[in-house]
Structure 1
Amino acid sequence: MASNIPTEHSKAGFSFAVIGDCKSEVCLVEPEPFRQNIRSINLLMPDFVVILGDFVKGDTHEDLLGEAWNEFERVARGLKMPYYLVIGNHDVQCRSGEKMFRERFGSPYYCFDYGNSHFIVLNSEDKEGRGDISGRQLEWLRKDLKAHSEAEHIFVFVHRPLWESERNWNKKIHHLLVEHKVDMVFAGHNHRYKAPMTRDGIKYIVTGGGGSVPMGSIKEDEGIFYHWVYATVRGDEVNLAVIRPEGLLSEGGKPLPSWKELNWIHKRSFGPAFIDALREIPFSEDINIRIRNPLKFPVHGTIEWFVPDGWDVIPRRMEYSVKPQSETELYFKVNADEKAKLAYPLPWYESILRWKKTGEPIATGRSGIRLRRRFVCRKTERKIVVDGNLDDWQDFEPLRLNRKEQVVGHWEGVDDLSAKIFLAWDENYLYFAAEVRDDYFCQESSGGDSWQGDSVQISFDTLNDDRSELDEGDYEYAFALTPKGTEAFRLSVEGSSIRGEEDKDLLLAINIKSEEGLHIYEAAIPWSQLKPFKPRRGAVCGFNVVVNDNDGDGPKSWIGWTPGIRESKDTSYFGELLFK
């Protein structure tokens, strides 16, 4: 697996950490609470760590999945001790997910020994068992338990808490574990902590607060908070402690930031720089980055730029300080020569905040250069009828999605996948239409999974700020003709939680013309759903759109205005709607 753990017997005992669910809502960025948990684990220095799955946002294209794993490994290497991985459902969500996991880390079920104990890692995502522990994995488990019956303690790790269902775990696995005197079973999957449930001498623990978005608002009395579990083994005794990282102090006496401060830092502290998407290359331009410090202490930071071919940022590295609850601007010069492409990926930076210039990190952020795109949304003097017919849109200029650089995945040209996007408004509605050219229609999912088939997603940043990820005032819609019928699925942000639900209040019509290779989407969104935005001439709203393509063998590709929906949920990538 990811690391080698010594197997020599330890008479003095040992400790290990268990942490679950650390994926972000952004494909290529691990969440800051995960980094914070890593910092707190390093303060207590257990002998090793077991991470309970959902390492990456696997509902992305295969072209991006490798980069997502690279990012996870880069962050996980911040641990000062070895770590072991338990495969999760999001890690295999992409078609090549399990194959990539095996190539990088080996078998998704395995075992190891440490001290007087035996450790078993199971795969709850085994296709052979369809979520159960069965077939070859079950036979392997039987043999392994029998072979290690002399171990003083046996610990089992699995991503999903399979004992919460009435499937084969409770019928077969539990009794097998009881027979071989297993001490504890750890699982994640649910983004919360559930106190141990003891059944026939086995403790079952759910710990899923490793960094992923919590299940609802933070509620300490319901176990909804960021955390990890610290286990100590001393002879025949095993003790558990639930660790919240913000409760720990470094040797310097300063606390790690709270989850609220981390959330604020992650979304608002590290600003992007914008350049006009219509700039002519080559060029040289001054840019500025804004760094915000919400903490009650001064912080010290470093910025390091990473640049693709044809680009340069001067200086590449810079140190800075920010006073308590203040902000500062940093200035750079960006140069683009004839080899540079005015398309993503563009130069990006990583910044690390510390209490002292040479002290332990307290937060890490990432941002970079964004292209400023703008599209005019005109007021309509007549009501647009939402009927799946584009006759009402003849006088409106479309936003065109028809270039290779707008595509992620396999693309054979405009007949394979392209789109014309129309927008208009009046006092009551924002009107949207898409004329999609797609040579094959396939949509077998529904609800929050409709992105996996032919569909359209649109997003709004009503505050048009430079925050990263979805925040209050940000909304996303998915329109699809699913097996259940015409569906609209809406994401919104309440506090620090993302809420997803079917939207039955907006008007939506979808007309699939398979023989012509045309898919027509038309919608009217009431302004009451896009608060606090107020439509008026001259107003500006952040906006993005992506069209998903599935030709019958799973998600194939997508084409979008900017990378701010499928590749990430980073609203700083969004373009702008100018209302006229």
Structure 2
Amino acid sequence: MRRFLRFSWLLWGLMLLTACRGRSTSQPVVTLLPPNPQTNPLYQGIPPTVTPTPHVTPTFTATPTLPPTVTPTPVPKSGTAPKAATATLPASGATPPLGQERPGPVVLAFKLDHPIVLDASPDDWGNVPPYSIRHVTFGQAHYKGLHDASGVFLAGWDGGYLYFWVHVTDDVYVQEGHGANIFRGDSVEVLLDTRLEEDLYTHILSSDDMQFGFSAGNPPGSNPEVWQWYPRSMMGRPKGVQVVAVGVPDGYRLEIAIPWARLNQRPRAGLRMGFVISISDNDTPGTLRQETLVSNVPYRRLIDPTTWGELQLIGGTSSP
């Protein structure tokens, strides 16, 4: 009996040992990490992903309001400058001549059906309406009022030139500069974006943006000058650009002709360009210092063409 019990225990032990050896031992599952894109040769040359900074592209919507019909104000032959044109809203249902994309004011340049004689006189400008220059865009602390620095201007064109006639009201005339320094004295500046529709929303200057300056000389009417600052590739005295000046009791007058060849443009009715005209003022004799700048737009910034206004070429006017 003892032998049987001993044998039974031995048999049970052998069975238990066999069962334990036959059971499979589970192995850990190893998950390999993905390769580092910065060290694996497969990813070399690919920059790390960068979350871009949100950039908002400005969108200007054309205003549905019809542009005003300008009632021309006669321009006197001499003396005090005329008042700016009076705007009258067109009748309901009228078709606006051209659309407006930028928020600045629109200046209409009329096609001139008669020759312009450059003599600083408005006599041959016919019924072209004047626009005002009266927004202080620099040097507000030095500004004393409309008698200090303001003006009116006319804009026109023909097949050869873009024309401006400007009457500047200035109680103290100071111009000690020449060439690139004429802006530091009493002078007129014209900004033109000659390819407006190609860079309508561009906030920096490009090669089609042009900056001209015009001095009446010292005294006004003697040796007037013109200078171009931008684009830098065209900096200097611009070939073919003409200016004539004359002094008047309350300031001075300029008549300007800019050839279309200088603007790299072909004139046509409907052509649109970015545009600002400004008056630089210096009231301190013996100095070279731009104290105030007055513009036809209220928010002019030289380096941001989207703050400029607009010039639109339209059809002809009646002869004087």
Percent identity of the aligned residues?
Answer: 26
Change (3 A) 1:408 1:392: farther
Change (3 A) 1:518 1:472: same
Contact 1:506–1:525, Cα closer than 8 Å, also in 2: yes
Q: Choose from 432, 438, 442 the match for 2:164.
A: 432
What residue number does 1:487 align with? 225
Q: Greater strand share, 1 or 2?
A: 1
Change (3 A) 1:271 1:523: farther
Contact 1:277–1:373, Cα closer than 8 Å, also in 2: no
How far, CA to CA, are the matches of 1:487 and 1:271 in structure 2?
40
How far, CA to CA, are the matches of 1:443 and 1:457 in structure 2?
14
Equivalences for residues 16-415 of structure 1 within 5 A = 253=47, 271-274=57-60, 371-403=103-135, 408-409=139-140, 410-415=142-147
How far, CA to CA, are the matches of 1:274 and 1:408 in structure 2?
29
Q: Choose from 501, 504, 508 the match for 2:236.
A: 501
Q: With structure 2 as the length reference, what TM-score do the two structures score? A: 0.61
Contact 1:423–1:431, Cα closer than 8 Å, also in 2: yes
Q: With structure 1 as the length reference, what TM-score do the two structures score? A: 0.35
CA deviation map 1:292-345 (0-9, x unaligned): xxxxxxxxxxxxxxxxxxxxxxxxxxxxxxxxxxxxxxxxxxxxxxxxxxxxxx
Q: Choose from 250, 263, 271 the match for 1:539.
A: 271
Contact 2:132–2:151, Cα closer than 8 Å, also in 1: yes
Q: Choose from 298, 306, 316 the match for 1:572.
A: 306
CA-based RMSD: 3.0
How far, CA to CA, are the matches of 1:522 and 1:270 in structure 2?
42
CA deviation map 1:108-156 (0-9, x unaligned): xxxxxxxxxxxxxxxxxxxxxxxxxxxxxxxxxxxxxxxxxxxxxxxxx
SS of equivalent to 1:273: coil
Change (3 A) 1:468 1:387: same
SS of equivalent to 1:450: helix
SS of equivalent to 2:261: helix
Tell which has more relative contact order, 1 or 2 (C-alpha 8 A, sep 6+).
2
Structure 1 portions without partners, runs of 5+: 1-250, 257-268, 280-368
Change (3 A) 1:475 1:385: same
Change (3 A) 1:450 1:432: same
How far did 1:393 drift? 2.6
Contact 2:134–2:295, Cα closer than 8 Å, also in 1: no
How far, CA to CA, are the matches of 2:150 and 2:214 in structure 1?
16
Contact 1:491–1:498, Cα closer than 8 Å, also in 2: no
Q: Choose from 490, 510, 518 the match for 2:251.
A: 518
How far, CA to CA, are the matches of 1:521 and 1:277 in structure 2?
33
How far did 1:560 drift? 0.6
Structure possessing the higher radius of gyration over alpha carbons: 2
What residue number does 1:213 align with? none
Matched residue count: 221
SS of equivalent to 2:235: strand
What residue number does 2:284 align with? 552
Change (3 A) 1:499 1:527: closer
How far, CA to CA, are the matches of 2:202 and 2:171 in structure 1?
37
CA deviation map 1:329-376 (0-9, x unaligned): xxxxxxxxxxxxxxxxxxxxxxxxxxxxxxxxxxxxxxxx96232111
How far, CA to CA, are the matches of 1:503 and 1:270 in structure 2?
38
How far did 1:518 drift? 2.2
Q: Counterpart amino acid of 1:471?
A: S
How far, CA to CA, are the matches of 2:283 and 2:63 in structure 1?
32
How far did 1:384 drift? 0.8
Q: Counterpart amino acid of 2:261?
A: S
Q: Counterpart amino acid of 2:60?
A: F
SS of equivalent to 1:449: helix
What residue number does 2:85 align with? none
What residue number does 1:444 align with? 176
How far, CA to CA, are the matches of 2:161 and 2:47 in structure 1?
54
How far did 1:561 drift? 2.1
SS of equivalent to 1:274: coil
Contact 2:204–2:305, Cα closer than 8 Å, also in 1: yes
Structure 2 portions without partners, runs of 5+: 1-44, 66-100, 315-320
How far, CA to CA, are the matches of 1:255 and 1:434 in structure 2?
56
How far did 1:542 drift? 1.1
CA deviation map 1:389-418 (0-9, x unaligned): 221235211111235x66642322221111
SS of equivalent to 1:502: coil
What residue number does 1:350 align with? none
How far, CA to CA, are the matches of 1:272 and 1:446 in structure 2?
39
CA deviation map 1:152-198 (0-9, x unaligned): xxxxxxxxxxxxxxxxxxxxxxxxxxxxxxxxxxxxxxxxxxxxxxx
Change (3 A) 1:539 1:391: same
Q: Choose from 462, 466, 470 the match for 2:194.
A: 462
